[in-house]
Amino acid sequence: MTQNQPSELAILLEGVSVSRGERVVLEDLRLAVPRGRITAVMGPSGSGKTTVLRLITGQLQPDAGQVLVGGEDVGEMSASRLNRMRRNIGVLLQNGALFTDLTCFDNVALPLREHTALPETLIRRLVLAKLQAVGLRGASDFYPRELSGGMVRRVALARALALDPAIMLYDEPFAGLDPISLGASLRLIRDLNRILGITSVVTTHDVAEVPKFADYCYIIADRRVVASGTPAELRDADERVVRQFMDGLPDGPVPFHFPARPLAEDLLA
């Protein structure tokens, strides 16, 4: 299986199904992430975008199918192998998830102190360089509670990059950002990819921003990939579900209404 996959794939989800209790979240999903590119995973809220990321990091095991990272099945990895893989993956969680009892500096230093034997002077330089890259070197002594939401996420990005990962996963990096922070985040993601060649997976529902950074897009809805292609291809696609998502139409193949009895029945009961 692994041999006949093109080696340019950093991540491959093949025939993956996930369910939570009765509810099926993903069904027979196939998603490939080429190495050194930015792949966007789009879809309405609750469509399983974050689930895809949790599958890649091995926080969640699929009920069926396999998740390959660097050609290796995440489900088959031993605990120590999984930890080694995670050191190679940077994850930016939705709200940053900085440790509230540590300063920004110590937050970024934590993975370095934990996983390397570098002397403190070198760690200091590395941390300041990472914070400089996200423009927050001046805030290194601040606690997360003293920063705005956008700044917290930038520090979290510096922390995710601390160990120079080969793969970066961004969970909704643009949600709730003001236009300036959004532009800055976009540029950071693009630059990291271009300069360091980091393979990136970005989940978002911000349709307008996707063409500005993504090389390839997947749209997940109704438990599966409903469309995929370059941003230009998706923009010109005719399929109804793609149109609904790209044009932001309230109703269509993805229903506006939660499943219910007919309205008349409910009102006249």
**Least distance in Å: CB of 114 to other proteins?**
5
Which lies closer to other proteins via its Cβ, residue 84 or residue 240? Answer: 84
Which lies closer to other proteins via its Cβ, residue 167 or residue 246? Answer: 167
C-alpha 82/C-alpha 140 separation (Å) is 31
C-alpha 207/C-alpha 247 separation (Å) is 8
**Least distance in Å: CB of 188 to other proteins?**
19
Closest CA to 126 of 151, 163, 169: 163
C-alpha 197/C-alpha 137 separation (Å) is 24
C-alpha angle 36-40-44 in degrees, rounded to nearest 5? 165
Which lies closer to other proteins via its Cβ, residue 134 or residue 207? Answer: 134
**Least distance in Å: CB of 100 to other proteins?**
7
**Least distance in Å: CB of 198 to other proteins?**
16
Write out the residues near other proteins by the rule CB under 8 A.
Answer: 57, 59, 82-84, 86-87, 89, 91, 93-95, 97-100, 110-111, 113-115
Closest CA to 93 of 166, 33, 145, 159: 159
**Least distance in Å: CB of 89 to other proteins?**
7
Which lies closer to other proteins via its Cβ, residue 111 or residue 211? Answer: 111
**Least distance in Å: CB of 156 to other proteins?**
8
**Least distance in Å: CB of 34 to other proteins?**
23
Which lies closer to other proteins via its Cβ, residue 98 or residue 104? Answer: 98
Which lies closer to other proteins via its Cβ, residue 171 or residue 209? Answer: 171
**CB–CB of 152/92 below 8 Å?**
no
- Contacts of residue 236, Cβ cutoff 8 Å, sequence gap at least 6: none
C-alpha angle 69-70-73 in degrees, rounded to nearest 5? 45
- Which residue in the block uniquely carries the two structure tokens 């939401």? 149
Which lies closer to other proteins via its Cβ, residue 144 or residue 231? Answer: 144
**One-letter amino acid identity for 144?**
P
